[in-house]
């Protein structure tokens, strides 16, 4: 269960945990200290309305939102990098190999950030779906939580989640690259995403416009 309280300009979320989990928390958290979160938003239209906006309208708001949040992401990464380098350096069990592994992980994240910025700044008139997969990779690299949703939370959301699940199977569990779309499509037809559509609309099918 989660409860929410507004304090000044902050929203504080209270999450109940088990006694065993509470005992494992640092003393400061047991005494009521807060865990600060950094919520970010990246948006990319993928349906026919986005195609029309690309062709005859404007996508400037989308780019402004993504750039503003990318700048905040960069600021967070600076803190993330400092924290983990200090953690490795100050550990009595740290070795040169540990530091090299950490530097490799940080280099990977920096390359991902560069790629994300390039995708955000693209001026080509097409739907940059790769922006969504890139932010997913960065979230995993930063050990962050991530939510993804479209307006109805069933069609485009279902496509994105099943692709992400199949991609994780490739990255973490040795699923062959050529099998990603096969597995994603199988989860779309036989997994829980159609049950989600049924719960939202009363129909166990996706609703896509032919355009």
* Backbone torsions φ then ψ of 146, nearest 5 degrees: -145, 140
Q: Which of 65, 150, 153, 168 does the annotation list as catalytic?
A: 150
Task: Tell which residue, 27, 198, 203, 54, has the closest CA to residue 128.
Answer: 54
Cβ atoms of 153 and 200 closer than 8 Å: yes
**Residue 89 corresponds to which tokens in the numbers above?**
């350096």
Task: Tell which residue, 43, 42, 44, 51, has the closest CA to residue 209.
Answer: 51
In three-state secondary structure terms, 201 is helix
Residue 6's beta-bridge partner residues?
A: 11
The crossing angle, in degrees rounded to 10, of helices 96-121 and 130-141 is 160
Cβ atoms of 208 and 155 closer than 8 Å: yes
Residue 3's beta-bridge partner residues?
A: 14
What is the CB-side half-sphere exposure of residue 106 using CA atoms within 13 A? Answer: 18
- The verdict on whether 134 is a catalytic residue reads no
User: Which residues are tagged catalytic?
Assistant: 150
């Amino acid at each position: 269960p989660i409860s929410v309280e507004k304090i000044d300009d902050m929203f504080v979320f209270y999450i109940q945990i088990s006694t065993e989990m509470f005992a494992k928390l640092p003393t400061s958290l047991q005494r009521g200290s807060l865990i600060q979160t950094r919520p970010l938003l990246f948006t990319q239209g993928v349906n026919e309305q986005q195609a029309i906006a690309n062709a005859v309208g404007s996508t400037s708001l989308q780019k402004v939102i993504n750039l503003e949040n990318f700048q905040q992401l960069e600021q967070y990464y600076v803190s993330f990098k400092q924290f983990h380098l200090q953690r490795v350096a100050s550990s009595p069990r740290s070795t040169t190999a540990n530091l090299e592994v950490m530097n490799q992980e940080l280099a990977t994240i920096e390359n991902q950030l560069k790629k994300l910025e390039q995708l955000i700044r693209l001026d080509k008139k097409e739907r940059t779906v790769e922006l969504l997969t890139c932010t997913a990779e960065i979230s995993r690299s930063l050990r962050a939580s991530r939510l993804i949703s479209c307006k109805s939370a069933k069609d485009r959301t279902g496509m994105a989640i099943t692709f992400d699940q199949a991609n994780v199977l490739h990255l973490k569990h040795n699923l062959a690259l050529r099998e990603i779309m096969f597995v994603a499509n199988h989860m779309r037809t036989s997994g829980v995403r159609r049950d989600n559509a049924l719960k939202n609309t009363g129909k166990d099918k996706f609703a896509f416009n032919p355009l």
